[in-house]
């Protein structure tokens, strides 16, 4: 290290010490108070299932105030919920260990737990220090096939002066949920995979019917691997074909060369490569470079496709990510960063060859977002594919398409509260209002919650930026489509905002009641300890560097990583994967553990689709864990939900005459309401759903009509009158230029259960 670099390093380290001793002193006191609790959590995790009650009993607390519980209320999927209220009794001395032992002796097992320190109030004369924690505990009683989840807030009163232990723990707003009967999602495949040599991952996760047999295949594009359904309903993995996929980053499936067969479009450092598909669902021809990038593609994160200019072929939007800490740089500003690697709008000439149309299309202004997901989708129902972009250190941007491929930024006009650490998104009709709503996945932050409670601000944070801290750490944002083009943010009132450090997501109607549930994959990097690096970002790292590379900051960050993450500290770790059941006006309720999906693994991808065509939506998930060794775990889960309602579904395929089904919009009219769905790409996190749409219909006994609006130029529309329920309808894409058509259900191919 040069003398100059060493001097710059000393300045950075001196700033960290100064901030820690002054402005951040109360926050560091909160972290010190929490450390024994984190050690105890680590001990519970390390203990085997037979010893966890024993470790739980060793909580260093003087007394515990236990609540009374309300009568049970019904939850979806046959579960029940009780609410804590008041103080029923106080445990002192041996009371806590004895009470805990009763659960173990009664046959309950602790599967996992999560403890998040949300607020801290320092000690004052005559008043002890206090904290508020979010506590979640998952339990299973194998003898009764029963799952239970304890979730809510506890208030902690800390020992005074040098007594740093817990003096009193009191239960606040908390729920006790239970369900019997075992999880309704059956794991039919679980496969641990390694990435190719010199590759980081096996994704993207793509699900598509490649061979036209009606059953989608599961593709791991980064590995060049596909799982095909066997006659007995199991899945077997093998190569995608004879062609080498190579080292890729992003991928999307679609008919890009207009021959009626789905192709695989991938990104490599040199540009975008097209691997032509075959009617048999294999990729046997070497890929061709269809877009030589003007400069090396550094971190392509998403490809989304659709016909943006009405010429009948699939155009492409490519979004890139830029990693924080890269070469000693940091996203700046933290709430509106536009300092990443460039995005591209690529226009198709009909043969699959792509040219850059980004600036001419009006998309140059924010092309340097740190993008995670994006979709070309018709938000207004006028046939033109608009653009939705979700980015880290910014949030959501939306652009209106004039139908000819020219875009106007409408974020301020259309979106209420667009800011978030955007990770992924879902486009679905959550309220059965006849329009697509938007769900953006984000992150919550225990550190931000504590800092907001303490009223602490970094001295270099501009006053006008202060409100952005809590807005960025709000978590998920659900935007409900309102009158006109406006989308209203309603996540807070519906209980969908807080799912931790969230990644991939998918919407599904798991019980066919007409209300869409949401599956969320969570967690960045779980390592040896639950002690988390996250606070370092907010206290120090965000203020140590700007957008440009900084050698001194790079050395500073790498040294800190070695002392923290390199020694087993997690970063966004030990999160619980979530299943948010929809209760209509009552909002969403988290039921992951009760349904067998609440794994405490670092998840990334999820696709929800009906793999076996029985009308119940199945799941495909992919996780990525870095510790103790790198592991990618693929799961295929078959739905066994009982007592589900009525349903109807539609399958679409590519055709030479009609083009691609990407962008098709389906409106189902039943019982005086309209439900909307669309075939879209780029949603979720580095995942793709098949060209199949499933609609739960609840107690409906008939569908009045279905209107299918086809993408591309013209106003192609197909209306199905009184189509049969409880089955999938395979609807052929009408030839380009054909206008309105009507059909009864017998005029289309019906794929029965």
- Structure confidence at residue 740 (pLDDT): 61
* Average pLDDT of span 215-228: 98
Fold of 185-526+572-639: Methylamine Dehydrogenase; Chain H (2.130.10)
| 412 neighbors 451 (Cβ within 8 angstroms) | no
Q: Are the C-beta atoms of 686 and 380 separated by less than 8 Å? A: no
Mean pLDDT of 673-684: 97
The per-residue pLDDT for 8 is: 92
From the list 696, 747, 690, the residue with the least C-alpha distance to 725 is 696
Mean pLDDT, the chain, rounded, equals 95
pLDDT band for position 465 (50/70/90)? Answer: very high
Q: Cβ neighbours of residue 259 under 8 Å, at least 6 residues apart?
A: 276, 656
What's the whole-number mean pLDDT along residues 292-315? Answer: 97
Which pLDDT score is estimated for 747? 43
pTM for this predicted structure: 0.96
- The arithmetic mean of pLDDT across residues 687-703, rounded, is 97
pLDDT at 743: 56
pLDDT at 746: 44
Q: How many CB atoms lie within 10 A of CB 555?
A: 17
Does residue 589 have a pLDDT over 90? yes
pLDDT band at 737 (very low <50, low <70, confident <90, very high): low
Is residue 41 over pLDDT 80?
Answer: yes
pLDDT for 738 equals 62
The alpha carbon of 654 is separated from its chain's Cα centroid by a whole number of angstroms, namely 28
d(CA 214, CA 637): 18
Higher pLDDT: 142 or 357? It is 357
What pLDDT band is residue 160 in, cutting at 50, 70 and 90? confident
Band the pLDDT of 44: cuts 50, 70, 90: very high
pLDDT score recorded for residue 742: 58
Residue 665 to residue 383: CA distance in whole angstroms: 9
Average pLDDT value for residue range 353-363: 99
Specify the pLDDT at position 741.
61
pLDDT-based confidence at residue 739 (cuts at 50, 70, 90)? low
Query: pLDDT tens-digit profile of 535-552?
Result: 999 999 999 999 999 999
- List the chain domain ranges: 47-180, 185-526+572-639
**Helices and strands per DSSP (H, E), number in the chain:** 10, 48
Nearest by Cα to 494 from 511, 481, 477: 477
pLDDT of residue 490 exceeding 80? yes
* Residues whose CB is less than 8 angstroms from the CB of residue 566 and which lie 6 or more positions away in sequence, other chains included: none
> What average pLDDT does this structure show over 701-716?
86
- Strands of the sheet containing 477-481, edge to edge, are 424-428, 437-441, 477-481, 487-489
Distant-in-sequence, close-in-space partners of 308: CB < 8 Å, separation ≥ 6: 315, 345, 347, 361, 376, 385, 401, 405
* Domain at 47-180: CATH architecture: Roll (3.10)
Percent of the chain residues past pLDDT 90, beyond the cut: 91
Kindly report the backbone phi and psi dihedral angles of residue 256, in degrees, each rounded to the nearest multiple of 5, phi listed first.
-95, -20
Do the domains spanning 47-180 and 185-526+572-639 agree at the CATH topology level? no
Distance CA(305)–CA(585), nearest Å, equals 34
347/49: higher pLDDT:
347
**Cα–Cα distances in angstroms (integers) from residue 48 to residues 80, 238, 514, in the given order:** 28, 36, 41
Distances (CA, A) of 190 to 200, 623, 626, 633, 639: 20, 11, 18, 7, 15
β-bridge mates for residue 206, sequence order: 219, 688
Report the alpha-carbon distance of residue 86 to residue 65 in Å, rounded. 9
Given its phi and psi angles, is residue 672 left (phi above 0), alpha (psi -120 to 50 degrees) or beta? left
Contact 485, 438 (CB under 8 A): no
């Amino acid at each position: 290290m040069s003398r100059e670099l060493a001097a710059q390093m000393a300045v950075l380290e001196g700033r960290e010490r100064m901030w820690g001793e002054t402005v951040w002193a109360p926050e560091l006191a909160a972290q010190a108070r929490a450390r024994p609790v984190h050690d105890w959590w680590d001990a519970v995790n390390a203990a085997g299932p037979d010893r966890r009650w024993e470790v739980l009993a060793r909580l260093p607390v003087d007394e515990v105030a236990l609540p009374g519980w309300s009568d049970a209320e019904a939850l979806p999927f046959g579960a029940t919920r009780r609410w804590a209220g008041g103080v029923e009794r106080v445990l002192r001395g041996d009371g806590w260990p004895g009470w805990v032992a009763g659960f173990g002796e009664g046959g309950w097992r602790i599967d996992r737990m999560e403890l998040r320190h949300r607020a801290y109030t320092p000690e004052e004369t005559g008043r002890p220090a206090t904290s508020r924690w979010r506590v979640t505990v998952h339990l299973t009683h194998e003898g009764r096939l029963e799952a239970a989840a304890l979730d809510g807030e506890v208030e902690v009163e800390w020992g005074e002066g040098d007594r740093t232990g817990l003096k009193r723990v009191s239960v606040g707003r908390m729920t006790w949920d239970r369900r019997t009967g075992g999880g309704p999602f059956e794991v039919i495949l679980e496969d641990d995979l390694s990435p190719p040599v010199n590759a980081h991952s096996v994704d993207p996760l793509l699900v598509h019917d490649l061979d036209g047999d009606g059953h989608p295949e599961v593709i791991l594009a980064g590995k060049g691997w596909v799982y095909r359904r066997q006659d007995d309903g199991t899945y077997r993995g093998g190569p995608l074909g004879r062609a080498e996929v190579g080292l890729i980053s992003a991928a999307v499936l679609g008919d890009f060369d207009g021959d009626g067969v789905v192709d695989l479009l991938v990104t490599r450092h040199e540009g975008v490569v097209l691997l032509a598909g075959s009617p048999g669902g294999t990729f046997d021809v070497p890929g061709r470079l269809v877009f030589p990038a003007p400069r090396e593609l550094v971190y392509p994160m998403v490809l989304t496709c659709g016909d943006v200019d009405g010429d009948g072929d699939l155009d492409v939007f490519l979004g890139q990510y830029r990693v924080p800490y890269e070469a000693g740089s940091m996203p700046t500003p933290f709430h509106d960063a536009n300092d990443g690697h460039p995005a591209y709008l690529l226009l198709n000439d009909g043969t699959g060859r792509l040219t850059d149309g980004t600036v001419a299309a009006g998309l140059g202004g924010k092309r340097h977002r740190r993008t995670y997901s994006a979709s070309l989708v018709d938000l207004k129902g006028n046939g033109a594919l608009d653009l939705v972009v979700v980015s880290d250190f910014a949030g959501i941007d939306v652009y209106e398409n004039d139908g000819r491929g020219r875009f106007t930024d409408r974020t301020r006009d259309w979106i209420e509260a667009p800011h978030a650490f955007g990770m992924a998104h879902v486009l679905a009709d959550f309220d059965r209002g006849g329009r697509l709503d938007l769900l953006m996945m984000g992150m919550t932050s225990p550190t931000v919650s504590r800092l907001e409670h303490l009223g602490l601000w970094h001295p270099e944070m501009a006053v006008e930026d202060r409100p952005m801290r809590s807005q960025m750490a709000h978590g998920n944002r659900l935007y409900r489509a309102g009158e006109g083009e406006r989308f209203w943010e309603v996540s807070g009132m519906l209980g969908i905002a807080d799912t931790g450090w969230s990644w991939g997501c998918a919407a599904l109607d798991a019980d066919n009641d007409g209300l869409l549930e949401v599956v969320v994959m969570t967690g960045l990097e779980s390592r040896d300890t639950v002690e988390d690096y996250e606070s370092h970002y907010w206290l120090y790292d965000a203020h140590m560097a700007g957008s440009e590379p900084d050698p001194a900051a790079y050395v500073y960050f790498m040294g800190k990583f070695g002392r923290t993450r390199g020694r087993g500290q997690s970063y966004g770790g030990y999160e619980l994967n979530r299943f948010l059941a929809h209760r209509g006006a009552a909002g969403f309720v988290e039921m992951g553990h009760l349904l067998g999906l609440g794994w405490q693994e670092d998840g990334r991808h999820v696709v929800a689709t009906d793999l076996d065509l029985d009308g119940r939506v199945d799941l495909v998930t992919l996780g990525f864990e870095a510790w103790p060794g790198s592991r990618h775990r693929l799961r295929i889960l078959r739905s066994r939900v009982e007592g589900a309602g009525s349903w109807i579904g539609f399958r679409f395929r590519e055709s030479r005459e009609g083009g691609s089904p990407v962008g098709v919009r389906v409106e189902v009219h039943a019982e005086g309401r309209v439900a909307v769905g669309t075939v879209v790409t780029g949603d979720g996190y580095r995942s793709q759903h098949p060209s199949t749409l499933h609609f739960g219909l609840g107690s409906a006994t008939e569908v009045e009509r279905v209107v299918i609006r086809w993408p591309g130029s013209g106003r192609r529309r197909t209306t199905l009158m009184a189509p049969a329920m409880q089955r999938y309808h395979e609807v052929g894409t009408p030839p380009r230029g054909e206008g309105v058509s009507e059909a009864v259900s017998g005029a289309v191919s019906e794929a029965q259960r």
